[in-house]
Amino acid sequence: MEPEELRELAVELAEEASRFLISMWCSELTEVVKGDTIRADLKAEEIIAERLRSRLKEYTLVSEESGRTGSGGYVFVVDPLDGSLNYEHCIPWSSVSVAIARPGSSRLSEVVAGAISQLGGPTLSFARGQGCYVNDERVSPRPQPRNVVFTYVESLEDAIRVARLFNSIKGLKLRSLGSAALEIAMVGLGRGLAYVDLRKKLRNVDAAAAIGLARECGARAVDASGNDVDVEISDVRPLGDLIVAHEGDLNLVLRALS
């Protein structure tokens, strides 16, 4: 399949799971199963897996809840519910994320299409070389707001590092909304200046589609040292630090964090 066909497939998968999650909003699916996993995570993953089984004879599914399933064929990197805590508490900011790489691919940089379906909102998607989309409309990044940074920290040391941004960005506004995929995608689309995550908790399944979209929109996704982020996608793997921004803003953010 061509990248555009894969984008359409990613949209189909993400939106089907998203519609189900919306239909079960504030229901018994918010019950915690274990750790950060709620019943909604498992059901949304099941919906995507069932759709893949009906569409493809061979595929590899790498998902937050089940790890790796299958081998060969196209590689699907999936977060069935990004923003589980928000969903659990009936806070309307969560998404379903699907990234696709060609057969034989093993790296994040080889993802060629993806979609992030916001529950109750638009679906953001991309196809490599074909641009980024909001629903069915191809879009270009708009000029970035000069002061909005999405950030996640869990230590005083990292909070102090992020606080240095106040010296570099006039009128800085920090946001931590609870769905990394959506926030990374917003930066790619020019709706935020940067995404800064210093927790070292993000995994490939959390951000594969969003990083692909941000890069297709012209942004970069790097670690705190400025190295482009690229990890294996053959199984669930950690990403480490993640900073996403367009080029000029990225240099400003990295200098402030160093």
- Asked whether residue 143 is domain-assigned, the answer is no
Identify which of 211, 172, 179, 167 has the alpha carbon closest to the alpha carbon of residue 193. Answer: 172
Do 246 and 221 share a structural domain?
yes
* pLDDT bracket for residue 30 (50, 70, 90): confident
Do 119 and 16 share a structural domain?
yes
Do 78 and 161 share a structural domain?
no
Task: Find the range with the poorest average confidence among 65-79, 206-220, 224-238.
Answer: 65-79
Q: Which one of 79, 107, 138 terminates a domain? A: 138
- Domain span at residue 104 reads 3-138
CATH no. for residue 243? 3.40.190.80
Task: In whole angstroms, give the CA distance from residue 236 to residue 24.
Answer: 27
Do 173 and 114 share a structural domain?
no
Q: What is the mean pLDDT of residues 123-134?
A: 98
Do 158 and 130 share a structural domain?
no
- Asked whether residue 176 is domain-assigned, the answer is yes
Do 253 and 161 share a structural domain?
yes
Question: Are the C-beta atoms of residues 155 and 130 closer than 8 Å to each other?
Answer: no
Largest CA distance in the chain: 55
Task: In whole angstroms, give the CA distance from residue 109 to residue 142.
Answer: 24
Mean pLDDT for all residues in the chain:
94
Whether the full predicted model's pTM is greater than 0.75, yes or no, is yes
Task: In whole angstroms, give the CA distance from residue 84 to residue 52.
Answer: 23
Q: Please tell me the total count of domains within the chain.
A: 2
Tokens of 189: 């689309």
Task: In whole angstroms, give the CA distance from residue 42 to residue 59.
Answer: 19
Do 209 and 114 share a structural domain?
no
Identify which of 26, 206, 37, 182 has the alpha carbon closest to the alpha carbon of residue 95. Answer: 182
